[in-house]
Amino acid sequence: MILKHFQILVIGGGTAGIMVSSMLKRKKSSLNIGLIEPAEKHYYQPAWTLVGANTYNFENTVKPMASVIPKGVEWIKEFADKFEPENNTVITKEGNEFTYDYLVVSPGLKIAPELVEGLQEAMDKGVVCSNYTNPAHTWETLKKFKGGTALFTQPATPIKCGGAPQKIMYLADEHFRKTHLREHTDIVFALPGGSIFGVKVIADTLMDVIGKKDINVRFFHKLVKVDADKKIAWYAIEKDLSSGGCVTLADGDEASLDKDIQYNYKDVKVSIKGDLYGIHFDMMHLAPPQSAPDFIRNSSLASETGWVDVNSKTMQHAKFSNVFSLGDVSNLPTSKTGAAIRKQAPIVVANILKLIKNNILSTKEYTGYTSCPLVTGYGKMVLAEFDYEKVFQPDPKLKQFPLMVGDSSKEHWRLWILKKYLLPYLYWNKMMKGIEV
């Protein structure tokens, strides 16, 4: 058993862990920092949407973990397993113990296909694909598709980048048009919520895109089972069907459809089994369910929902004042994106440095800013930027770039350039280096 003490111990070598470690070292090089991360590789996952549509090389999304860990930070290549925050201790799977003055918890989330029956067996095989796990297989699936029902879906759990399940759908639509398959294809987007996006001005733009692309959206559809052999995705309808005589299938009379559930109805094959509706598909892309890692959910750091319980403005733990958490694993009530981490990391760093120096928190606060680059086709994008209040809120720092001239809530080619070229550059050369952007 190794027992070693660090001033600051960071859990996770993803975007949040590397950015916080780099910023801390940049601001105070003498800090004694340890980083627990078992992975050998670090991925720029925001580009996986583009990989799945064959417009970005997968090789350019990955670098050796050793190359991004800041100089002077000790890399502990182990799995964090247990927390003893009362004793300022983290225990790894290998049984080694590490103590700290301050702890930063940022291991990200885990892909949890086991939460949907049959999904584990279906994932990334045959005509079922996901950019979240294997974007190369997504492209192979799109290439092999010969027409029919192309089903795109997302789970009811929180996920990384809530817009990603529909981005690949818009790109697939254009690919099908280029290959002359679109007229033989029905595209269906099934999602558990009642809106295409949580920010109205962005939702309005996306519904215009949906209309132009002739896509059928099925709201309030919660995926509960995947039958890969029969190619059926089974959904529970998350709307009270007992009141108001809601109708989810046309049965020859589209006028009777519940317009809150169906938009731009297409008569694709649907089976009914009890309260479940099974959409038959010829290909399916999905965002799998996601959750906090087990060692987080089972710890005293977790809230009732399983995510790390922190203050929404300071990211300080609700119970343990020397523990902070940010990124996907936290229970911050905002979308889980790298753009959110870009704004969260400076707050965490400022708070830790102020605590070390004066034993008080910084006056800086996180407003919930996040952004979702919503690719709507090859060469087109909308940039959804918003805060805790779901108010469209463009970042003044991004507005300094010439590409950001104009209304970013509307489709534009300049935003595509931002997504494909500028954001990866900022990620590797600024964020990973601890430079605030």
Are 51 and 131 contacting, i.e. CB atoms less than 8 angstroms apart? yes
Task: Tell me which DSSP letter residue 403 carries.
Answer: G
Q: Which residues are catalytic?
A: 161, 372
DSSP string, 5-73: EEEEEEE--SHHHHHHHHHHHHH-TT--EEEE---SEEE-GGGHHHHHTTSS-GGGGEEEHHHHSPTTP
At residue 198, the 3 state secondary structure works out as: coil
What domains can you pick out in the chain, each with its CATH number?
Answer: 3-109+292-365 (3.50.50.60), 113-286 (3.50.50.60)
Backbone angles phi, psi at 430, to 5 degrees: -120, -65
Q: Are 235 and 279 in contact (CB under 8 A)?
A: yes
Q: Which residues of 51-85 are buried (b: 16+ CB within 10 A; e: fewer)?
A: bbbbbbebeebeeebeebbbeebeebebbbbebeb
Q: Which residues contact 359 (CB under 8 A, 6 or more apart)?
A: none
Provide the β-strand partners of residue 225.
117, 234
- Please compute Rg for the chain using Cα positions: 22
276 exposed, middle or buried (CB, 10 Å; 0-12, 13-18, 19+)?
A: middle
Q: Note down pLDDT in tens along the chain; length 437 residues.
A: 778 999 999 999 999 999 999 999 999 999 999 999 999 999 999 999 999 999 999 999 999 999 999 999 999 999 999 999 999 999 999 999 999 999 999 999 999 999 999 999 999 999 999 999 999 999 999 999 999 999 999 999 999 988 999 999 999 999 999 999 999 999 999 999 999 999 999 999 999 999 999 999 999 999 999 999 999 999 999 876 544 444 556 555 666 678 789 999 999 999 999 999 999 999 999 999 999 999 999 999 999 999 999 999 999 999 999 999 999 999 999 999 999 999 999 999 999 999 999 999 999 999 999 999 999 999 999 999 999 999 998 988 887 777 776 899 999 999 999 999 999 999 999 999 999 98
**Exposed/middle/buried for residue 86 (C-beta within 10 Å: 0-12, 13-18, 19+):** exposed
Alpha helices by DSSP H, 310-419: 338-358, 396-399, 413-417
What's the maximum distance between 2 C-alpha atoms anywhere in the chain? Answer: 72
Are the beta carbons of 220 and 180 closer than 8 angstroms?
Answer: no
In whole angstroms, give the CA distance from residue 96 to residue 78.
Answer: 9
342 burial type by CB count under 10 A (0-12 exposed, 13-18 middle, 19+ buried): buried
| Phi, psi (degrees; rounded to nearest 5) at 145 | -65, 135
